[in-house]
Structure 1
Amino acid sequence: MITHTGIQSFSAKSPVVTLGIFDGVHCGHQLLLSEVIKVAGQLGRESAAITFWPHPRFVLSKADDDFRLLNTMEEKTEGIRAAGIDHLIVVPFTPEFAAITGEQFISEFLVDKLQVSCVVVGDDVRFGAGGTGTAQMLQEFSGESGFCVKHLDTHLHNETRISSTFIRACLRAGDLASANRLLGKQYSLSGTVTTGNRIGTSIGFPTANINVSEHFKQIPSDGVYAVYTEVKGKRFAGMLNIGIRPTLQDHDHKTIEVHMIGAEGDFYNENLTVRFVQRIRDEMKFGSLEELRIQLEEDRKTTMNIIKFDNH
């Protein structure tokens, strides 16, 4: 896949394109991308996905401090690459770009600059200033502009539309199973290992504290999770805690720390990725470090049983 920042370097002739934010590159997105590839093959054209960065909410709603994303730009790129798309066009989303109307986007970008042969979209697509651009608008322009439009029906899960918004809500609510199922993969976080107070080491469960790389990443709800950990080219099963560590009462801010089962050595300042397999339990407060240690032993057994039957 070739990644283009803006469309100036894009030269593929009459591509088949789709457009969207693609946060999470979830199952609904994957169906859309697969359809783009299918149509491109039928027409003998190259496939392209158009996305926007940063997320429009960060540009248009700067006071919305609680808004989070499922993907960094790098993760989104990898997800679209994995789908098999030929080209990814990343359009810088600026206040100036946000002022472009839906009609202008179609005529100036899709028709004049990209000369698209076909546009594949979900029936809920929105683009242009105020989100006025729709699948219906594309259809109205298609005849006179010489491109075809194919739109896919909304993909539902238990009568709920699969969306990035819904998946974020699942993660916040502790419903990791639904989030992973709708993503079509295990949710992940990446960051740098930082120093901690080494209390875990003193009870036989050394942990790596994770400073998440991007502040806008959606953090799952507080609790204990079975995870895979990837660091220094190796992969370990692990048990990860998100929360304030109430037993230790050493701070009141949220931390993310992972015990990597079977790992040895110093991982401080290393880049690390965790992939969430299953939520084990809520964060709990114990009467002593010994009670905590006993529970962690049970968590480790639970984690290993979960990992044993995981096929990822």
Structure 2
Amino acid sequence: MKIYRNLEDFIPLDNAVVTIGTFDGVHVGHQKILSTLRESARVSKGETVLLTFFPHPRLILHPEDDSLRIISDIDEKVKRLADAGIDHLIITPFTRDFSNLSPEEYIREVLVGKIGTKKIIIGYDHRFGKDRKGSLKDLVAYADIYGYAVEQIPEQDINDVAVSSTKIREALIKGDIDTANIYLGYPFQLTGKVIRGDQLGRRIGYPTANLQVRESHKLIPAYGIYAVETSIIEPIEIKTGPYVPHLPERITYGMGYIGTRPTVDGVSRSIEVHLLDFHEDIYGEILRVKFLHFVRHDQWFENMEDMIRQMKTDERQVRDLLGLTH
């Protein structure tokens, strides 16, 4: 897969088969669109192109609204799209000028002029252009004029998969990791830098890696204890050119914690991982945490002894869930 960080970096293709969208999570519902895209390109001997936007359009159009929470950050999304077999990924900056293009300008200048679209594959509810007024009707109306074909994924086909980004967010907020991971088709993950905490975990026999999640709008699952898989990865930089996957190093397993540490009068949210059977110093490293199982919700204990006793129980349960020896 080749990546382009701007439409200006892209040279129009002779036979581009295109889809457009945020594809947050690249979940199994999105996979329906992507599989149709690949098959259409195969039949027509074309090349697949996915146009997405960064930052998320809502952050530009409604900066006062801080409610947006995304399932996958840009690196996670790029990896999933590469795994899905996309030929060309255009990550174009979303701006107000871009949002003010009329539906016809969007079709003429972007889809045809910048990309060379010969066929476009869209979901049943796709909207585009100024005030999101563009729809399937516009794409069909201008198809003959600008020389492309349109294929819409029927609503029934999408509904048959019974997946949406909203359902995934709802599951994660409840701590229902099993459901979220089924809908995603892979384990939900958080990625960030390991920073120094207050060393409380080390003092009680459970040293933790404190995670500073790099994407401020990333959705954080319910507070509680999780069984997780972790890997140290290289610092991430998405740039124009061939996609080069970041190979994980030192994969290990752990007991993840999200919460405010109420027993020790914590106030701010903390994201920590106690790495099982691992004793290296990884401060400053980039850690990717995959959430495999939910163990329990966060809770307050009357004293440290009760908390440590429960943590030992949690560790046994995590090891059982992960198939690790005690």
Which interval holds the TM-score relative to the shorter structure? over 0.9
Q: What secondary structure is seen at the aligned counterpart in 2 of 1:13?
A: coil
Report the alpha carbon displacement of residue 247 of structure 1 after superposing the two structures with TM.
1.2
CA–CA distance in 2 between the matches of 1:282 and 1:189?
A: 18
Report the alpha carbon displacement of residue 82 of structure 1 after superposing the two structures with TM.
0.8
Report the alpha carbon displacement of residue 157 of structure 1 after superposing the two structures with TM.
6.8
Q: What secondary structure is seen at the aligned counterpart in 1 of 2:7?
A: coil
1:141 aligns with 2:142: yes
State which of 299, 303, 326 in structure 2 corresponds to 1:284: 299
User: Which residue identity is paired with 1:156?
Assistant: N
CA–CA distance in 1 between the matches of 2:309 and 2:261?
A: 16
- Unmatched runs of 5 consecutive residues or more in structure 1: none
CA–CA distance in 2 between the matches of 1:183 and 1:303?
A: 22
1:260 aligns with 2:275: yes
User: Which residue identity is paired with 1:126?
Assistant: R
User: Which residue identity is paired with 2:154?
Assistant: D
User: Which residue identity is paired with 1:107?
Assistant: R
State which of 226, 243, 257 in structure 1 corresponds to 2:259: 243
State which of 275, 288, 313 in structure 2 corresponds to 1:273: 288
Report the alpha carbon displacement of residue 6 of structure 1 after superposing the two structures with TM.
2.4
Aligned to 1:295: 310
Quickly say closer, same or farther: Cα 1:308–1:137, change in 2 above 3 A. Answer: farther
- 1:192-220 deviations in Å (ceiling 9; x for gaps): 11212222222221111111112111111
Structure of higher RCO (CA pairs closer than 8 Å, 6+ residues apart): 2
Report the alpha carbon displacement of residue 83 of structure 1 after superposing the two structures with TM.
0.4
User: Which residue identity is paired with 1:100?
Assistant: L
TM-score, normalised to structure 2's length? 0.89
TM-score, normalised to structure 1's length? 0.93
- 1:90-117 deviations in Å (ceiling 9; x for gaps): 1210111111122211122112332211
Aligned to 1:156: 159
Aligned to 1:127: 128
Aligned to 1:234: 250
Report the alpha carbon displacement of residue 140 of structure 1 after superposing the two structures with TM.
2.1
Q: How does 1:97-136 map to 2 (within 5 A)?
A: 97-136=98-137
CA–CA distance in 1 between the matches of 2:220 and 2:27?
A: 17
1:65 aligns with 2:60: no
Q: What secondary structure is seen at the aligned counterpart in 2 of 1:40?
A: helix
Report the alpha carbon displacement of residue 89 of structure 1 after superposing the two structures with TM.
1.1
Q: How does 1:196-211 map to 2 (within 5 A)?
A: 196-211=197-212
Aligned to 2:23: 22
CA–CA distance in 2 between the matches of 1:26 and 1:126?
A: 20
Q: What secondary structure is seen at the aligned counterpart in 2 of 1:65?
A: coil
More moved, 169-178 vs 11-20: 169-178
Aligned to 2:9: 9
User: Which residue identity is paired with 2:114?
Assistant: K
Aligned to 1:31: 32
More moved, 232-241 vs 215-224: 232-241
Misfit runs of 4+, over 6 Å: none
More moved, 200-209 vs 57-66: 200-209
CA–CA distance in 2 between the matches of 1:103 and 1:165?
A: 30
**Aligned residues of 1:14 and 1:114 also touching (Cα < 8 A):** no
User: Which residue identity is paired with 2:256?
Assistant: L
Q: What secondary structure is seen at the aligned counterpart in 1 of 2:60?
A: helix
User: Which residue identity is paired with 2:173?
Assistant: R
User: Which residue identity is paired with 1:72?
Assistant: D
User: Which residue identity is paired with 2:251?
Assistant: R
Aligned to 2:241: none
CA–CA distance in 1 between the matches of 2:172 and 2:160?
A: 16
Report the alpha carbon displacement of residue 54 of structure 1 after superposing the two structures with TM.
0.8
CA–CA distance in 2 between the matches of 1:151 and 1:99?
A: 24
CA–CA distance in 2 between the matches of 1:231 and 1:208?
A: 12
CA–CA distance in 2 between the matches of 1:44 and 1:71?
A: 31
Q: What secondary structure is seen at the aligned counterpart in 2 of 1:238?
A: strand
Q: What secondary structure is seen at the aligned counterpart in 2 of 1:119?
A: strand
User: Which residue identity is paired with 1:266?
Assistant: D
CA–CA distance in 2 between the matches of 1:57 and 1:167?
A: 19
User: Which residue identity is paired with 1:95?
Assistant: R
Quickly say closer, same or farther: Cα 1:168–1:120, change in 2 above 3 A. Answer: same
Aligned to 1:187: 188
- Unmatched runs of 5 consecutive residues or more in structure 2: 234-248
Identity among equivalent positions (%) equals: 36
